[in-house]
Amino acid sequence: MRAALGLAGALAMASVAPGCGWRSGFLELTTDQKLDSARADLEARKWGRAVEKFRILAGVYRGTAQFPEVQYGLGRAYAGLEDIPSAERELGVVVREYPESDWADDASLAIAEAYVGQIRASQLEQTTTYQAIDRLREFLRKFPGSALAPEAESLLVISRSQLAKKEYENGRLYLRLQDGPAARVHFETVLREYADTPWCAAAQFGMAEALCEEERADEALAAYRAVVERDSTGDLARSSLERIQAIEARRRCP
């Protein structure tokens, strides 16, 4: 249903004046014209104005077939303002009360997207990342056959990759502190819990480095070989092959 918003935006009434004087012109429009105008503001990312228009329209369209779309537009506009609690509240109405509507899956994914948009840098705490993952999994449980499912799955990998990156960076920190066992805990977490993310080869390499830090040459050798299997043509593979040759020549870590 998302494409409908872009199409409707092109049909918006040019008579709606910009700036603070838009309200009088908006209120003079027919009901359908008001909806086109609100759609256009949503498409143009004029979030504050879209919120006001969709709030007016929610009262007009309540109980009609168009109400789920209006409620969805209201939630999306709040998400654009980064008012996540309000966005989830308004979008949740569509998901809970209109689960059979064409807008239910859009609304559910929009809730998740709002949290994805708030994900913080990997060096910071990741509460929002976990919240985004929860909402994405909820979407995939409720709407497994949705045309939006591939988008949700992609966002899920992106969100999980953020957690994998944080674990990897923690492992690298302990390596710099020359604490191999502590480093391995974090690299093992990436390999065990985030195998679907792009951080596995780097974590495998980190694991090998940590084993070398502990002078466990045979285990490090196996770990470096695993890196080559995961990343056969990349920089990590080349570095691993160099270390493999060094260990095989000396029977100890370089």
In a domain, 180, yes or no: no
**Residues of the domain holding 48:** 1-118
pLDDT number for residue 98: 96
In a domain, 112, yes or no: yes
In a domain, 181, yes or no: no
What CA–CA distance (Å, rounded) separates 46 from 43?
A: 8
Sign of CA dihedral 230, 231, 237, 241: positive
Phi and psi at 192, nearest 5°, equal -85, -45
What CA–CA distance (Å, rounded) separates 46 from 42?
A: 6
In a domain, 35, yes or no: yes
Measure Cα distances from 245 to 203, 209, 248 in Å.
20, 15, 5
pLDDT number for residue 64: 94
In a domain, 131, yes or no: no
In a domain, 75, yes or no: yes
In a domain, 142, yes or no: no
Phi and psi at 233, nearest 5°, equal -120, 5
Tell me the whole-structure pTM to 2 decimals: 0.83
In a domain, 68, yes or no: yes
Looking at the structure of the chain, the number of domains it has is: 1
pLDDT number for residue 198: 92
pLDDT number for residue 27: 87
Query: Domain of 101: which CATH number?
Result: 1.25.40.10
Tens-level pLDDT at each residue, the chain (254 residues): 665 555 444 444 333 334 457 888 888 889 999 999 999 999 999 999 999 999 999 999 999 999 999 999 999 999 999 999 999 999 999 999 999 999 999 999 999 999 999 999 999 999 999 999 999 999 999 999 999 999 999 999 999 999 999 999 999 999 999 999 999 999 999 999 999 999 999 999 999 999 999 999 999 999 999 999 888 778 999 999 999 999 998 878 87
26 close to 34: Cβ distance less than 8 angstroms? yes
pLDDT number for residue 5: 53
76 close to 42: Cβ distance less than 8 angstroms? yes
pLDDT number for residue 145: 95
